[in-house]
Amino acid sequence: MRNDSNVVVGCDLDGVISDIVRQLVRFSRSKHSVSITKRHIVSENIETCTSLQREQLHDFFQNAEFFRSLPMVPHSRVLLARLKAAGCSVHIITDRFWYEGIRKDTTDWLVRHRIPFESLVFARKAEKQDVAKSLNAHFFIEDQLSNARLLAPLCRVLLLDRPYNQGELPDQVTRVNDLKAAVDLIVEWTRGLDLPHTSQRAPLRCPA
C-alpha cells in the first residue's frame, strides 16, 4: 500500500459528504408544507422535477440554518479516513456562495463532524476543473453528472449513483453505488491494481 500521500482525491461536499437531498425534503415540508421525497428529485435543476419554486430554493440556500444543520451521509467520516490511511490526500471542493459567512459555517460543519481533509476550496461550477488541475487530482468523487463531464478530461471521476444524475457517461467516469464503492475503488488503485479505463453506464430512471 502506498503511504506517500501522492494520490490526490478531489471530493464534492453536498450530495457526497452532506445529505443535501434529505435536507431539501425536510425544509420543503417544514418551511413551505411541500411534500416531496428523495425519489422525486430526478434532475440537478430541482424546480423542474418538483413543485418547489426557484425563489423557495433560494430561501433555503440563503438560510444559514440549512447548511449548519445538514445531515452527514452515513459513514462518510470513516470512509474518508480510510482514504487518508491508504496514502491519499482529500481536498473538498464545493460551490457554496449563498451568503456571507457560509465559508465559516462550512468549515465549522466539517470540523464538528470530524471529516478528514487536506484543504477546503470554494469554487464555482465552471472553476471546479481548474481546481482539480491545480491539485493534480488523480480522482474526483462527484454526485452531479454535469460536473463529472467537466472533470473527466483531467482525472478519473467516481460518480455516486443518484436519481438526478442519470445519463451517458464519458470515458474516465465510473458510476458507483455509493461513497463506500468509490473509496473501495480508489483504495484498490493505491494497492497497485488497475481500474477500468472506460465508463460504466446505468439505465435511465423514471420519476417515482
pLDDT of residue 77: 97
Question: Is residue 98 within 8 Å of residue 65, measured between CB atoms?
Answer: no
Average pLDDT over every residue of 175-181:
97
The torsion region of residue 107 among left (phi > 0), alpha (psi -120 to 50) and beta comes to alpha
Q: Which three cell numbers stand for residue 201?
A: 453506464
Residue 208 CA to residue 197 CA, distance in Å, equals 32
> pLDDT tier at 13 (50, 70, 90 boundaries)?
very high
- Given a cut of 80, whether residue 206 has pLDDT beyond it is no
Which domains does the chain carry? 7-19+72-190 (3.40.50.1000), 21-68 (no CATH)
Going by C-alpha positions, the residue among 169, 141, 143 that lies closest to residue 156 is 141
Rounded Cα distance between 166 and 192, Å, is 30
Lowest-pLDDT range of 29-43, 59-73, 102-116, 121-135: 29-43
Q: What is the pLDDT of residues 131-156, one digit of tens each?
A: 999 999 999 999 999 999 999 999 99
What tens digit of pLDDT does each residue of 117-136 get? 999 999 999 999 999 999 99
Q: What pLDDT score was predicted for residue 6?
A: 81
Of the chain, the percentage scoring pLDDT greater than 70 comes to 89
